[in-house]
A and B are shown apart, each in its own frame.
Chain A
């Protein structure tokens, strides 16, 4: 399954399938990006980050892709599990402590 953009989309995927969550960031000068996962009633939790000198970074079951040309970031989750159900945010950083968060994508995993 795949989602697009900053309009708080919802994405439903079957357990075991791969998920792709997309994010269009706003500032072409931003050079550091983070993906967070927020479960209901909890604070955002760090998943993976990437700096602009890279276009791909892999973690455990997750991959972040960065396309600076079109200001696009994606999070790929392999073999999605029910525990992956949450709202996912991308955040961009231009300088210092200032992070701008996207509006989030709600992922629901269907067992």
Chain B
């Protein structure tokens, strides 16, 4: 009964490719997020959605495009992958703003 599930868990691909990461939550939460964690464990928010509406769009290259088809899903599409995109990407959800977040187990993206 995974609350926040991301797929794939590992993603190894070449520079220049386009890839997607999927996220689903079964907690009935209204708010979902994408975070990037670098090799030094630093976690930085990328995007946040409330009820499918984009709320936060941090300084992220426009090669990254989130899509929320419904409240339970927030997918992340990345175009023209670069070496610096290598990181662990975490999806999270919460009941609403200013609430504790439930995180998925991450997608480890490696760019060759």
Q: Which of B11-19, B60-68, B76-84, B102-110 contacts A (4 or more CB under 8 A)?
A: B102-110
B4 close to A (CB within 8 Å): yes
- Best-buried of B4, B97, B98 by chain A (most CB within 10 Å): B98
Residues of A within 8 A of B31 (CB): 97
Complex CA gap A42/B106 in Å reads: 7
| Interface of chain B, main secondary structure | strand
Interface residue from B40, B42, B55 paired with A96 (Cβ < 8 Å): B55
Determine if B98 and A43 form an interchain contact, defined as CB atoms under 8 angstroms apart: no
Count of residues in B whose CB is under 8 Å from the partner chain: 24
Q: How many chain A residues touch B (Cβ–Cβ < 8 Å)?
A: 24
Interface secondary structure of A, over-half rule: strand
B40/A34 in contact, CB under 8 A = no
Chain B contacts to A: CB under 8 angstroms: 4, 31, 33, 40-45, 48, 50, 55-56, 90, 92, 97-98, 100-106
